Chains A and B, each alone.
Chain A
Amino acid sequence: MSIQTLMYIGGRLIKGAIVLLVIAVFNFFLIRAAPGDPAKVMAGEAGATDELFLQQLREQFGLDQPLYYQLWVYISNLVQFDMGITYRQQMPVFDLIMDRMPATLLLTGAAFLMSLLIGVLAGVVAAQKHKQWADSFITVAALIFYATPLFWLAMMAALFFSVYLNWLPSFGMETVGANLTGFDRFVDIMTHLILPATTLGLFFTAVYARMTRTSMIETTRMDFVKTAIAKGMTPNRVTYRHVLRNALLPVVTLAGLQAGQLIGGAVLTETVFAWPGIGRLMFEALFQRDYNLLLGVFFISSAMVVLFNLITDVIYCVVDPRIELSK
């Protein structure tokens, strides 16, 4: 990697840090604009409360301080990578997020890989068999998965595969209390992963398939492809070496977008399948007005987006060497 590239990446990282800080300040005010506060929610859940109790809670959470002071405390802690304590669980926000991170990454990562592989492959096949039955089948299937609401698909999958066929578990990440280890535990987790990862991945599979297909068909009509065919290259080599590589750029852009959602993008799937991930943590924190926890998840998610935007840009150069990184 050249010095110029490294300089570019360094510059982007610094800009990214500034963006993150601005986002954190913006989020800080945004969630405080919602009605109610964590003390009221907790008092409300308790079913009995008085002013003294609310006051105790607000003091404990530091919510009795003026807003500008709370912001100062939050931001100055944040730059030291301290995200504070969750109001509800009384645990460090960072620990709680890290505790949930593996589950989410496993789910979203599996869905990401699945959709990318199957989606691109389906797109290639559809483009190759343009206007034949395989193309129609893939296009229609992609359209259906693209248009179906995720939660409905998830419920139907659970009803069919768990209740009716009894093949796959309907909730959780592993069999609790079975004390499985090693390979058995791996198989157990994979069995639990199939339904949520598939439901989560289907939407993007459809998007990749459609995108790849269109892009491939367009590229096929280009002059250099004609040249390649005229040179006598095998059709497969033309497809994968020349067409696909050039058709991949829009797919890379989209994959970058999906990768940015690896942390917070699985709220619905995690909720329906009781998958112990970060999306749910965020969703619950929102309703409980657990400001610190919510800000923490927002922060990590936005860091992921910034990071993956950068990675996408770098990958562009690999896929298409004509693109150069520069300020």
Chain B
Amino acid sequence: MKKIFMGALVACVPLMTPIYAAEDGGTINVVVQPEPPSLMIGMYSNATTQQVGGNIFEGLMRYDQDLNPHPMLASSWDSSEDGKTWTFHLKEGVTWHDGQPFTSADVVFSIDKLLRETNARLRTSLAHVESIEATDDYTVVFKLKEPFGPFIRLFEVGTTPMLPKHIYEGTDYKTNPANHHPIGTGPFKFSEWKKGSYIHLEKNENYHVQGLPHLDDVYWYVIPDAASRAVAFETGKIDVLPGGSVENFDVPRLTELDNTCVTTDGWEFFSPHAWLWLNNRQGPTSDVRFRQAVMYAMDREFAKDVLWNGYGKVANGPVGSKTKFFDENLPEYEYNPDKARALLDEMGYDGEPVRILPMPYGETWQRWTEVIKQNLEEVGINAKIESTDVAGWNQKVSDWDYDISFTYLYQYGDPALGVARNYISSNIAKGSPWNNAEGYINAEIDQWFDEAATAFPDEKRQELYSKIQNKLVEDVPVAWLMELEFPTIYNCKVQNLIDSGIGINDAFGTAWIKQ
């Protein structure tokens, strides 16, 4: 079989090249909110588990802000011409934090055994994989059932972290004591977790990338109140506020402080996409004209400027602009209350009340709900706010007991990984608030998504995804709001903080402090 070298020249240059001007030493204090349930990144995909755990564990690849893969634990990879066989060559001389060598056996075990059992999102993608085999200590071969376009974007540390076989094999993964004392290959080792107070990571002296990490210690502080987090940053005790860790209305005040830097980079891989679930099964929201009216009724630019301080981008369709295969020539729903009223007249909307469920994640979402309610009332929709807590929200959305509900989801760089799941009819099932919870059924869309995932090469995928985006924008299964941007606020002494597409989640291996 003739092989073509896919990891082109760019990809051969590791993203983590030490910067020679960088200074070594120092401690960084970061906020972590909410306190993660665990740092075992392979079993918990909570945002903060990823933020801390991404510095302890590593994936086979690392992705830059254009989502291109770079070598991490795999030093190179190539694929067969038909896109069905992928060969990974692992970096040699890598050791786990306990001194054991990292080999192909760990890769096969992590992906084929442990993560297949514990990671629902990866499990769906692994359905396309026929076999995973280690041909020698440093080579792993994946055989796919058919070409699977998003395959190259599966190896980020949060999705597919490498976990130590010698610790987990043959144990009950969920109760393994190592979950409390995680052992990875990353730039930082777990040191201490004082529950309710802080998590301490310390420098991995035997890190496999020469000259890294620069920092000696990273402390993650648990500060449960949003206003107190802002105060802690103001007093200088905290160096980094990861995106979303203070209320939006505090952001302008904090960014104006002396010696304070702000960036919206580092969310490209996730591209958090916010929308309103519209229950397609019942009530006014089951009528496409009503759903289109909702799109015209919303003043999304206003919400962006006022609630999000201008950060982010109004979303007009299901695919984020930073995600692959985004189509920029889609028809747009501008703010047009007259059009909304006309559509409501046409369908004969009789003022049946619709309930709006805010997301229970802080002030911004409450206020956003009030804005949307007002927008909808202006065009004559009888909207009522129905508030609940996180558990209640999960319950209501996953049991389809709602009319309109806020949400936002990650896109993971590829529509097959982070978009299809919300629109294909095979993904309609009670019990999860993250699947096709709106209940949209369209056989054409199902088929196109199916074909697009395995179409080869990329031009064919683009064609299909463009068709999908146009059709969804016409049908409005959900009302898209914004591509969210969460500004990371930090003390300007911290250098090179964000240098990958997952941002703060693997930031501290390369960051350094200017003395």
Q: Which residues of chain A have a CB within 8 Å of any CB of chain B?
A: 34-37, 40-54, 60, 88-91, 96, 99-100, 103, 155, 158-159, 162-163, 166, 169-173, 176-177, 271-274, 276-277, 280-281, 283-284, 287-289
Q: Which A residues are CB-close (under 8 A) to B6?
A: none
Given contacts A35-B395, A48-B120, contact A96 B200 (CB under 8 A): no
**A34 vs B223: C-alpha distance when bound (angstroms):** 26
CB nearest to A45 among chain B residues: B46
Q: Can you list 8 A-B contacts with CB-CB less than 8 angstroms, sorted by A residue number?
A: A36-B391, A47-B409, A47-B434, A51-B431, A155-B227, A155-B231, A170-B237, A288-B391
Chain A CB within 8 A of B44 CB: yes
B222–A287 touching, CB < 8 Å? no
Chain A CB within 8 A of B451 CB: no
Q: Which of B195, B235, B433, B435 contacts A276 (CB 8 A)?
A: B195
| A-contact 0/1 string along B423-434, CB 8 Å cutoff | 000000101111
Chain A CB within 8 A of B389 CB: yes
A162–B231 touching, CB < 8 Å? yes
A90–B174 touching, CB < 8 Å? yes
Given contacts A177-B27, A273-B228, contact A281 B120 (CB under 8 A): no
B225–A162 touching, CB < 8 Å? no
Given contacts A40-B398, A287-B390, contact A172 B197 (CB under 8 A): yes
B225–A274 touching, CB < 8 Å? yes
Closest beta carbon of chain A to B71's beta carbon, Å = 26
Contact residues of B between 290 and 308, Cβ < 8 Å to A:
none
Q: Which of B179, B394, B432 contacts A50 (CB 8 A)?
A: B432
Chain A CB within 8 A of B221 CB: yes
**A242 vs B468: C-alpha distance when bound (angstroms):** 87
Chain A CB within 8 A of B24 CB: no
Chain A CB within 8 A of B45 CB: yes
Q: Which A residues are CB-close (under 8 A) to B222?
A: 274, 276
**A158 vs B224: C-alpha distance when bound (angstroms):** 15
B45–A47 touching, CB < 8 Å? yes
Chain A CB within 8 A of B196 CB: yes
B231–A60 touching, CB < 8 Å? no
B196–A277 touching, CB < 8 Å? yes
CB nearest to B410 among chain A residues: A47
Interface size of B as a range: 35 or more
Contact residues of B between 184 and 214, Cβ < 8 Å to A:
194-198, 200
**A50 vs B427: C-alpha distance when bound (angstroms):** 9
CB nearest to B193 among chain A residues: A89
Other CB < 8 Å A-B pairs besides A171-B237, A274-B228, A276-B195, 4 of them? A88-B38, A271-B224, A273-B228, A284-B34
Q: Which of A35, A47, A96, A158 contacts B195 (CB 8 A)?
A: A96
CB nearest to B37 among chain A residues: A88
Chain A CB within 8 A of B396 CB: yes
CB nearest to A166 among chain B residues: B235
Q: Which residues of chain B have a CB within 8 Å of any CB of chain A?
A: 27, 34-35, 37-38, 44-47, 120-121, 123-124, 174-175, 179-180, 194-198, 200, 217, 219, 221-225, 227-228, 231-232, 234-235, 237, 388-396, 398, 409-410, 421, 429, 431-435
Q: Which A residues are CB-close (under 8 A) to B431?
A: 40, 43, 49-51, 54
**A42 vs B394: C-alpha distance when bound (angstroms):** 10
B235–A163 touching, CB < 8 Å? yes
**A45 vs B393: C-alpha distance when bound (angstroms):** 11
B409–A170 touching, CB < 8 Å? no
Q: Which A residues are CB-close (under 8 A) to B394?
A: 36, 40-41, 43-44
B395–A36 touching, CB < 8 Å? yes
**A155 vs B36: C-alpha distance when bound (angstroms):** 25
**A52 vs B174: C-alpha distance when bound (angstroms):** 15
CB nearest to B409 among chain A residues: A47
A50–B120 touching, CB < 8 Å? yes
Query: What 6 A-B pairs come out closest when comparing CB atoms?
Result: A36-B391, A276-B196, A44-B394, A48-B121, A36-B395, A274-B223
**A166 vs B217: C-alpha distance when bound (angstroms):** 25
Q: Which A residues are CB-close (under 8 A) to B196?
A: 100, 103, 276-277, 280-281
Q: Which B residues are CB-close (under 8 A) to A46?
A: 44-46, 120
Closest beta carbon of chain A to B313's beta carbon, Å = 21
Q: Which B residues are CB-close (under 8 A) to A172?
A: 197-198, 221
B174–A289 touching, CB < 8 Å? no
Given contacts A35-B392, A48-B45, A49-B434, contact A170 B228 (CB under 8 A): yes
Given contacts A51-B431, A171-B223, A177-B27, contact A34 B391 (CB under 8 A): yes
Q: Which of A44, A96, A163, A287 contacts B234 (CB 8 A)?
A: A163
**A41 vs B219: C-alpha distance when bound (angstroms):** 27
B200–A177 touching, CB < 8 Å? yes
**A44 vs B46: C-alpha distance when bound (angstroms):** 9
**A166 vs B207: C-alpha distance when bound (angstroms):** 39
Given contacts A35-B388, A40-B391, A163-B234, contact A171 B174 (CB under 8 A): no
**A166 vs B237: C-alpha distance when bound (angstroms):** 11
B395–A158 touching, CB < 8 Å? no
Q: Which of B123, B124, B391, B395 contacts A287 (CB 8 A)?
A: B391
B197–A276 touching, CB < 8 Å? yes
**A45 vs B410: C-alpha distance when bound (angstroms):** 12
Closest beta carbon of chain A to B407's beta carbon, Å = 10
**A88 vs B391: C-alpha distance when bound (angstroms):** 14
Q: Which B residues are CB-close (under 8 A) to A159?
A: 231
